[in-house]
């Protein structure tokens, strides 16, 4: 049985991630979507919210688990007895970073392979940072994220709107 880990920040999950996760699932028997807990960086969504929206978005997809991890990725890989890591790249701009990560992880855990999937061209322009920016300025993120993420962001910004003057979704 082959187990793969698909790690990331997922702040938030995008349609690009979702497509990669579905395709990655077909390459192994067990896929773990691993959400990095980063105490040094306050993100848009809390770790639990990220886990919840990923689980909701993947409700119909069999063979995928969603877990949080902290510290080194290779320690999580060892703990889960995973066989390889899967990452996606949107283009050459991602390649250098992914190569450095793959080389580092292999150095730390010799033999550990990283399988890199190419993002579909129609989803290559989508990124979590762009989604965060659009959400921050009150734009419509629904073309770029699964419905569970859209609903969570709408709730989040509406709540902030009621409690302070933070820029919110326009007209809602
Ligand atoms: O979605 P991202 O932010 O590109 O994901 C980056 C991630 C989480 C895969 C990477 O930062 C990571 O693996 N962090 C854990 C710390 C670690 O193991 N670092 C050394 C390997 S480069």
Is 78 designated active site? no
Query: How many whole angstroms from 73 Cα to the centroid of ligand 1?
Result: 7
The more confidently predicted of residues 41 and 13 is 13
What pLDDT, in 10s, does the model give residues 56-92?
Answer: 999 989 999 999 999 999 999 999 999 999 999 999 9
168 assigned to some structural domain: no
Query: How many whole angstroms from 163 Cα to the centroid of ligand 1?
Result: 34
Point out the catalytic residue in the list 50, 87, 128, 169. Answer: 128
Indicate whether residue 12 lines ligand 1 (CB < 6 A): no
To the nearest whole percent, how much of the chain has pLDDT over 90? 88
169 assigned to some structural domain: no
Q: Which atom of ligand 1 is nearest to the CA of 34?
A: 8
12 assigned to some structural domain: yes
167 assigned to some structural domain: no
Domain enclosing residue 41, as ranges: 3-162
Q: Residue 39 is part of a domain; what is its CATH number?
A: 3.40.50.620
Residue 12 near residue 46 (C-beta atoms within 8 A): no
107 assigned to some structural domain: yes
pTM: 0.93
70 assigned to some structural domain: yes
Point out the catalytic residue in the list 50, 87, 90, 169. Answer: 90
> DSSP secondary-structure letter at 81?
T
Residue whose CA is closest, atom 10 of ligand 1?
A: 8
Q: What separation in angstroms does the CA of 93 have from each of 123, 125, 159?
A: 15, 12, 36
What pLDDT, in 10s, does the model give residues 34-55?
Answer: 999 998 888 999 999 999 999 9
d(CA 25, CA 122): 20
29 assigned to some structural domain: yes
Write down the pLDDT at residue 98: 98
d(CA 155, CA 149): 10
Number of separate domains in the chain: 1
What pLDDT, in 10s, does the model give residues 115-165?
Answer: 999 999 999 999 999 999 999 999 999 999 999 999 999 999 887 777 765
Task: Name the one residue in this structure whose structure tokens are 């419905």.
Answer: 147
Query: How many whole angstroms from 38 Cα to the centroid of ligand 1?
Result: 10
69 assigned to some structural domain: yes
d(CA 10, CA 34): 9
């Amino acid at each position: 049985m082959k187990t793969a880990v698909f790690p990331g920040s997922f702040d938030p999950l995008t349609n690009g991630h979702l497509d990669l996760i579905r395709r990655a699932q077909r390459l192994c028997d067990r896929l773990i979507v691993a959400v990095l807990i980063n105490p040094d960086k306050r993100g848009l969504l809390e770790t639990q919210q990220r886990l919840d929206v990923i689980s909701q978005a993947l409700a119909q997809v069999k063979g995928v688990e969603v877990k949080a991890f902290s510290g080194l990725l290779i320690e999580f890989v060892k703990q889960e007895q995973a066989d390889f890591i899967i990452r996606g790249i949107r283009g050459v701009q991602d390649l250098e970073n992914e190569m450095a990560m793959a080389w580092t992880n292999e150095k730390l855990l010799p033999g550990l392979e990283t399988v890199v999937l190419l993002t579909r061209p129609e989803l290559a322009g989508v990124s979590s940072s762009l989604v965060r920016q659009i959400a921050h300025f009150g734009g419509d993120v629904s073309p770029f994220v699964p419905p569970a993420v859209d609903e969570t962001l709408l709730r989040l910004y509406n709540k902030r709107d009621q409690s302070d003057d933070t820029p919110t979704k326009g007209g809602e």
